């Protein structure tokens, strides 16, 4: 089995994974330095770092780390009767000490852009300079045929694509279709399916978002969770060209991704207007 070939294939399919590598060993134990295992989000593991309690623990730890996409270097004592500072003791009797490196492999995030117009193209030009996997959806075949740079291009009705069950909790969604009607249908479909993205942004004017929120609260009630909804979209940096808007939106996504606060979001202009985020 060529585990590196598998990693490459999984990356092309936008699968996130944790690669676990034995990087150090002292004393006895079933682990060989250099042995590698990959763990996928569904819990499936391929390869081995030695078997037994250490492999079971490594699989469990890898699944936990996949949630935060964090790397980790951790040392284990393979003897339940021994304690070593800054190491975790596992229920084994080998007596050795092993260090594993957990490495996240995959995109920084998965982004869906509904609308492949000037802003959509400018967004892809910015986002693909970073490690994001980007899908662009547009029902206009002429737009999709000339679009460049996205990982996946989909010629499908805007709201119809949401029904395909491709979007997952934790993804990032940007809605910039050519019609208010399409924008509303996409967002309402996401709310109906109770998808919880990290970010859902809609390109619009203040008047448009006021109208949309009024309709949304009437449809879903004022208890609807819109904490992840950003509209008007982007950080307040000034500039109205597609390229400047793309930078504003990309910066907002980065700020949310890294948990940074203190920025002025465009949606802040609605503070005090009975908005529930």
CATH number, domain containing residue 199: 3.40.50.720
For residues 100 and 117, state if they share a domain. Answer: no
Do 217 and 224 touch, CB atoms closer than 8 A? yes
The residue among 82 and 109 whose pLDDT is bigger is 109
Size of the chain, expressed as the number of residues it contains: 277
Mean predicted confidence (pLDDT) in 23-37: 91
Is residue 81 located within the same domain as residue 209?
no
Q: Is the pLDDT reported for residue 92 higher than 90?
A: no
Q: Report the domain count for the chain.
A: 2
CB 82 within 8 A of CB 75: no
Instruction: Quote the pLDDT of residue 216.
Output: 92
- In angstroms, the Cα distances linking 181 to 118, 159, 217 are 19, 10, 17
Give the pLDDT mean for 38-44. 92
Q: Is the pLDDT of residue 273 over 80?
A: no
Range of the domain at 14: 3-105
Task: Indicate whether 127 belongs to any domain.
Answer: yes
Q: pLDDT band for 144, please (50, 70, 90 cuts).
A: very high
Q: Is 5 exposed, middle or buried (0-12, 13-18, 19+ CB in 10 A)?
A: exposed
Q: What is the tens place of the pLDDT at every residue in 172-226?
A: 999 999 998 999 999 999 999 999 999 999 999 888 898 899 999 999 998 999 9
pLDDT of residue 276: 58
Query: Can you tell me the distance from the alpha carbon of 20 to that of 13, in angstroms, rounded to the nearest whole number?
Result: 20
- Checking if the pLDDT of 65 tops 90, the result is yes
**Same domain (yes/no): 97, 134:** no
pLDDT above 70 for 120: yes
Question: Is residue 262 in a domain?
Answer: yes
Is pLDDT at 135 greater than 90 in this prediction? yes
Whether residue 69 sits in one domain with residue 145: no
Span 161-181, mean pLDDT? 93
Alpha-carbon Rg for the chain in angstroms = 23
Residue 184, pLDDT score: 94
Residue 95 has pLDDT above 90, yes or no: no
Mean pLDDT (whole number) for 59-81:
91
Report DSSP state, residue 274.
Answer: S
Round the average pLDDT of the chain to a whole number and report it.
92
pLDDT over 80 (residue 274): no
> What number is the average pLDDT over the span 249-277?
86
- Would 144 be classed as within a structural domain? yes
| 131 and 256 together in one domain | yes
pLDDT at 126: 97
Q: Indicate whether 272 pLDDT > 80.
A: no
Whether pLDDT at 139 is above 80: yes
What Å distances lie between residue 235 and 22, 134, 197, 204, CA to CA? 43, 20, 18, 13
Measured CA distances, 100 to 2, 25, 41, 73, 170 (Å)? 20, 9, 19, 6, 28
Question: Residues 119, 250: one domain?
Answer: yes
Which tokens hold the place of 188? 């309402």
For 179, counting Cβ atoms within 10 Å of its Cβ (0-12 exposed, 13-18 middle, 19+ buried), the class is exposed
């Amino acid at each position: 089995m060529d585990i590196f070939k598998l990693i490459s294939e999984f990356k092309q399919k936008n699968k996130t994974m944790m690669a676990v590598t034995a990087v150090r060993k002292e004393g006895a134990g079933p682990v060989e330095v250099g042995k590698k295992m990959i763990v996928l989000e569904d819990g499936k593991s391929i390869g081995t770092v030695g078997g037994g309690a250490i492999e079971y623990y490594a699989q469990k730890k890898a699944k936990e780390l996949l949630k935060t996409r964090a790397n980790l270097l951790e040392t284990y004592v393979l003897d339940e009767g021994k304690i070593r500072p800054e190491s975790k003791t596992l229920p084994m009797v080998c007596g050795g000490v092993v260090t594993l490196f957990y490495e996240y492999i995959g995109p920084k995030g998965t982004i869906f852009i509904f609308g492949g117009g000037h802003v959509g193209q400018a967004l892809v030009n910015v986002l693909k300079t970073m490690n994001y996997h980007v899908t662009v959806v547009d029902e206009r075949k002429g737009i999709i045929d000339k679009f460049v740079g996205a990982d996946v291009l989909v010629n499908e009705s805007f709201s119809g694509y949401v029904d395909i069950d491709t979007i997952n909790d934790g993804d990032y969604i940007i809605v910039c279709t050519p019609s208010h009607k399409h924008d509303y249908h996409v967002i309402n479909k996401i709310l109906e399916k109770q998808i919880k993205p990290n970010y859902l942004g809609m390109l619009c004017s203040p008047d448009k978002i006021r109208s949309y929120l009024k309709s949304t609260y009437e449809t879903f009630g004022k208890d609807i969770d819109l904490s992840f909804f950003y509209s008007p979209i982007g950080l307040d940096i000034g500039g109205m060209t597609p390229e400047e808007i793309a930078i504003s939106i990309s910066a907002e996504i980065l700020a949310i991704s890294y948990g940074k606060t203190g920025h002025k979001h465009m949606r802040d202009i609605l503070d005090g207007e009975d908005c529930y985020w």
